[in-house]
Amino acid sequence: MTAALRFHDVGKAFKDGTVALTGADFAVAPGEFTSIVGPSGCGKSTLLRIASGLDDATAGEVTVGADRLGYVFQDATLLPWRSVRANVELLAELHGLDRSERRKRAAEAIELVGLTGFEKHMPHELSGGMRMRASLARSLTLSPDLFLFDEPFGALDEITRERLNDELLSLFRLQRFAALFITHSVMEAVFLSTRVLVMSGRPGRILADVPIPFEYPRDPALRFSPDFAALCGEISGHLRGAHA
Ligand code: ADP
């Protein structure tokens, strides 16, 4: 099976000599949800930028098997002068889809993220969680088969983050995209993923690759089970090693 994304021994050194990434070697299979946790500044965003083609590797090779890429940033990056609907239509518009197709896809995506009824609202009228939903909907209009997430829920309060995690998993089950998800939260990584990669401090390398065996759908109460706590403990242990 062709991987949705494969890193072959990938490294990144910036022009000023900073080595952000070294020997990154992993693959994300279609339908697999992989999260990456690691200390600040270890090269997680750099890795994601390379995966998306926004930046180039300086060593190794990246192969993208997916046809359509989605990218969700930590900031919702909505255009403040556009309504929710017009923001959600933006990527489809940039891809040259005609107006009726854009409308249709935006309406579907808005419904999927639970923003129906808010189409005419402006970004400043939305909560942080709703802005992230709109950002997610904008990517969904292109039906990505590889979704890259750069700490999308990092700025939200815990309850909103948990709710968005539950909703993201519903979308994942429905659309079965491959996902590469960056987060600081071990609990979030374990709850969402089929697998968690732990990165070392800079220059980032992959220290551990931990499979997460829980079946989907995942009940929100899974977060309070002993097996879940044990996995979080194992990953936190690797992370403490990464900080050492
Ligand atoms: P993370 O997402 O894990 O917090 P980043 O990928 O943003 O880390 O950054 C990794 C390292 O590379 C950091 O030390 C950062 O300062 C450095 N870095 C990022 N972009 C550049 C750049 N354009 N030039 C030089 N160093 C950079």
The answer to whether residue 93 sits within a structural domain is: yes
- For residue range 102-149, list pLDDT tens digits in order: 999 999 999 988 999 999 999 999 999 999 999 999 999 999 999 999
Ligand 1 pocket check for 46: Cβ under 6 Å: yes
Note the pLDDT of residue 180. Answer: 97
Note the pLDDT of residue 244. Answer: 59
At position 207, the amino acid (one-letter code) is L
Examine the pLDDT at 20 and tell me if it is beyond 70. Answer: yes
The answer to whether residue 22 sits within a structural domain is: yes
Ligand 1 pocket check for 14: Cβ under 6 Å: yes
- For residue range 154-198, list pLDDT tens digits in order: 888 999 999 899 989 999 998 899 999 999 899 999 999 999 999
pLDDT band at residue 40, thresholds of 50, 70 and 90?
confident
Note the pLDDT of residue 76. Answer: 86
Same domain, 234 and 150: yes
**By residue range, what is the domain housing residue 117?**
78-143
pLDDT band at residue 242, thresholds of 50, 70 and 90?
low
Residue 12 alpha carbon to ligand 1 centre in Å: 10
Note the pLDDT of residue 203. Answer: 84
> Two tokens at 84?
């929710």
Ligand 1 pocket check for 20: Cβ under 6 Å: yes
| Final residue belonging to a domain, choices 128, 143, 158 | 143
Ligand 1 pocket check for 41: Cβ under 6 Å: yes
Same domain, 52 and 167: yes
Same domain, 61 and 150: yes
Where residue 28 sits, what CATH number does that domain have? Answer: 3.40.50.300
Same domain, 42 and 134: no
Same domain, 156 and 51: yes
Q: Smallest Cα–Cα separation from 134: which of 187, 181, 72?
A: 72
State how far the alpha carbon of 172 is from the alpha carbons of 8, 140, 189, in Å.
Answer: 26, 11, 14
Give, using CA atoms, the residue closest to atom 21 of ligand 1: 14
Examine the pLDDT at 43 and tell me if it is beyond 70. Answer: yes
pLDDT band at residue 28, thresholds of 50, 70 and 90?
very high
What is the percent of the chain with per-residue pLDDT over 70, rounded to a whole number?
Answer: 98
> Two tokens at 155?
């700025």
Ligand 1 pocket check for 183: Cβ under 6 Å: no
Note the pLDDT of residue 205. Answer: 87
- pTM equals 0.93
Residue 202 alpha carbon to ligand 1 centre in Å: 9
- For residue range 55-65, list pLDDT tens digits in order: 999 999 999 99
Examine the pLDDT at 243 and tell me if it is beyond 80. Answer: no
Ligand 1 pocket check for 42: Cβ under 6 Å: yes
| Final residue belonging to a domain, choices 99, 115, 143 | 143
Residue 218 alpha carbon to ligand 1 centre in Å: 34
The answer to whether residue 85 sits within a structural domain is: yes
Choose one of 16, 40, 45 to mutate for the ligand 1 pocket test, by most ligand atoms within 8 angstroms of C-beta.
45
- For residue range 63-112, list pLDDT tens digits in order: 999 999 999 988 889 999 999 999 999 999 999 999 999 999 999 999 98
Separation between Cα atoms, residue 181 and residue 172, nearest integer Å: 12
Residue 219 alpha carbon to ligand 1 centre in Å: 36
Domain count, the chain: 2
The answer to whether residue 98 sits within a structural domain is: yes
Report the alpha-carbon angle 106-110-115, nearest 5: 150
Residue 3: CB atoms within 10 Å: 18
Ligand 1 pocket check for 22: Cβ under 6 Å: no
